[in-house]
Amino acid sequence: MQYSRLLVPTMRNMPADAEVVSHQLLLRAGYIRRVTSGVYDYLPLGLRVLRKIEAIIREEMNRAGAQELLMPMVQPADLWEKSGRLHKYGPELCRFKDRHEHESCLGPTHEEVICDLVARELRSYKQLPMNLYQIQGKFRDEIRPRFGLMRGREFVMKDAYSFHVDDACLQREYDRMFATYQRIFTRLGLEFRAVEADNGSIGGASSHEFHVLADSGEDLIAHCSHCDYAANIEKAVAAVETVTGQAADKTVLATPNTTAAEDVADLLGVPLALVVKTMLYRQQGGDNDGQLVAVCVRGDDEVQEMKLARLLGTDAVELAADDDFASAGGVKGYIGPCGLSVAVYADQSLQGASGLVVGANRPDAHCTGVSLERDADIHQWADIRAVRDGDGCQRCHEGTMVLRRGIETGHVFALGRCYSEPMGVCFQDANGKRAVATMGCYGIGVSRLMAAIIEQRHDEHGIDWPSHLAPFQLSLITLGNKAPVMEASAKLYRALQDAGYDVLWDERRERPGVKFRDHELIGMPWQIVLSERSLERGEVEFSARRAARNPVAIDGIMSHLAVTLEG
RNA sequence: CGGGGCGUAGCGCAGCCUGGUAGCGCACCAGACUGGGGGUCUGGUGGUCGGAGGUUCGAAUCCUCUCGUCCCGACCA
């Protein structure tokens, strides 16, 4: 490709509203342009890289025995009615009516469509297991699209769905997909981590997320410094550490204008860990939608709301409004677990602890000498705290938990029969009996991956693509525009093409600095420079991005490339 | 949903408070000089000032509404 013919609108100025580096560089280097909120054009360079990422994913999926198909983006609402998700999914699902007034939606995911297909075509257990995948555009009407390709509304996803006769077979496929994902992320040159993930309200055996480690990541993940335990913060569990104070009788103390746990600890001169925080939550969704619950954690801990929601069997929890406190029997700022009219859940780290401080449920007062077991009616003890950096590992009991930020780019999920059952994905088993298939699903955010790779691989000059992901294999940069250099360059360009190289020839009438900077910005891994100066010596210069340029005889460049680029 | 910021040329911005010819840098076009790290000079092209309404002799500027966009918050009692 000749540079002057290529649409690469590089920008010298930083786009004002790009926050994260991948978004900035994708815009500046001319890879993407925004069409509307969370929706982007992939310009030629962007598409080239996207296709290379897809190719790796495709290769590894095929290698693992999965087969590619393509499902529609437009889906009929009745399929979603059938799975029970039409009403559950919420406004993220973009719905519309076609001209016949048929309810439709844009696919945010394809469990319904694939189940509909497989339900029709699956007859015998002999057809199983089966793993079908596609690489396709998805639409999710996110509340807040941001960070360019990191959280878009329209994005490219690889989604795979597997079907099995039983859960043992599903587990084998799950493990195979797990290994496949590890291969994919490794081939993409990423520093990543697979973590146990919350499997939410769906249930099922297991779920792992694959996170690309980056400070700009929206997720927090915890892993052990010693063993291989790693989990999303929404699920991570640490070793229980019970801190207990001196056993004493429950006593009410005046604590005027002291509501925050830290202030109470300071005022009373007790460790923060012994001051119990009592939080009032309202459930959202589930059988007890709207109901209030109280939750106790140590003063130095925080409630992990996803854990709480899962424990309660609700979709989500939100902190109660100010006027909810009276109905629960508490006072905002001084709420405590003793004598509340709502169910109280307490973190297991408080079980057996005595000498605690809790809110007295009346203004300007706390109670000391409290034991929750003795003095409060605890509905359930459970792990509802968020793991903190430095907590002990509950698996190996040797390491400590390390918290890092990650970009969720992959997710593998053992679904079980939660979709196949309502969608009627059945087959005849070996005994001639009708059985429901069990199912797994496996996603990779392809366009998000492109951003995630840049988050890890960039410098002040631009993108530093792994060479096999760069939009072109190498650059041929011509300096000067007199006939001899141009002719020699054109000849070399053709020779490179004939040898099968995907080369970007920069034949623009630009000054050297402009060219060098553009190629560095867009992340070209290798460059050949041909100038009047080098031509006189019968040489070109060859270098990796940002590295020193070395002279190579023009006659020898092909063999030099063959050695260097293959290695 | 709530709070805040911002919409002026492709990008980055000034002008607005205090109404009176729409500007600057980069990019782009033409020419010249240059020619190994975003060069210099000369001359140009390009803008419904997000949109609608209002106030006014006159609105980018003041008022109202609206749309878009970005960020923050999702209350740790």
Which residue has tokens 């499997």? A199
- Range among A167-176, A255-264, A285-294 with highest mean pLDDT value: A167-176
The Cα–Cα gap between A57 and A135 comes to: 9
Strands A103-106 and A95-97, by their bridges, are antiparallel
- Asked if the model's pLDDT at residue A200 lies above 70, the reply is no
Distance CA(A65)–CA(A63), nearest Å, equals 5
From the CA of A281, how many Å to the C1' of B24? 55
DSSP letters for A375-416: HS-EEEEE--BPP-TTPBBTTTSSSBEEEEEEEEEEEEEEEE
Q: How far is the CA of A17 from the C1' of B63 (A)?
A: 29
Pick out the nucleotide with least CA–C1' distance to A321.
Answer: B75
Q: What is the pLDDT of residue A285?
A: 80
Helix axes A21-28, A446-456, angle to 10 degrees: 100
* Beta-bridge mates of residue A462: A459
CA of A109 to C1' of B75 (A): 33
Nearest to A368 by CA among A241, A247, A278: A247
Tokens 């025995």 identify what position?
A: A65
Q: What tens digit of pLDDT does each residue of A397-419 get?
A: 999 999 999 999 999 999 999 99
A347 touches strand B (CB under 7 A): no
Q: Does the C-beta of A255 come within 7 A of strand B?
A: no
R_g of chain A, CA atoms, integer Å = 29
Its pTM stands at 0.94
pLDDT tens across A19-76, in order? 899 999 999 999 999 888 899 999 999 999 999 999 999 999 999 999 999 999 999 9
Listed residue (A222, A554, A517, A276) closest to A393, CA to CA = A222
Q: Are A302 and A234 in contact (CB under 8 A)?
A: no
Q: Which nucleotide is nearest to A549 (CA to C1')?
A: B36
| CA nearest to nucleotide B39 C1': residue | A511
User: Does the CB of A516 fall within 7 Å of any strand B atom?
Assistant: yes
Whether CB of A280 is under 7 Å from strand B: the answer is: yes
Distance A14 CA to B14 C1' (A): 18
Kind and range of the H or E element at A34?
strand A32-36
Mean pLDDT for the stretch of residues A444-469: 96
Query: What's the Å distance between residue A34 CA and nucleotide B11 C1'?
Result: 14
Q: What is the pLDDT of residue A205?
A: 67
pLDDT in tens, A429-455: 999 999 999 999 999 999 999 999 999
Give the CA angle between residues A193, A199, A204 to the nearest 5°. 115
In sequence order, what are the beta bridge partners of A377? none
Tell me what ipTM this predicted complex has. 0.93
Residues in a beta bridge with A161: A132, A441
As a rounded value in angstroms, the CA-to-C1' distance for A13 and B25 is 10
User: Which residues have C-beta within 8 Å of that of residue A61, sequence separation ≥ 6?
Assistant: A68, A133, A158, A160, A180
- The predicted structure's pLDDT at residue A54: 98
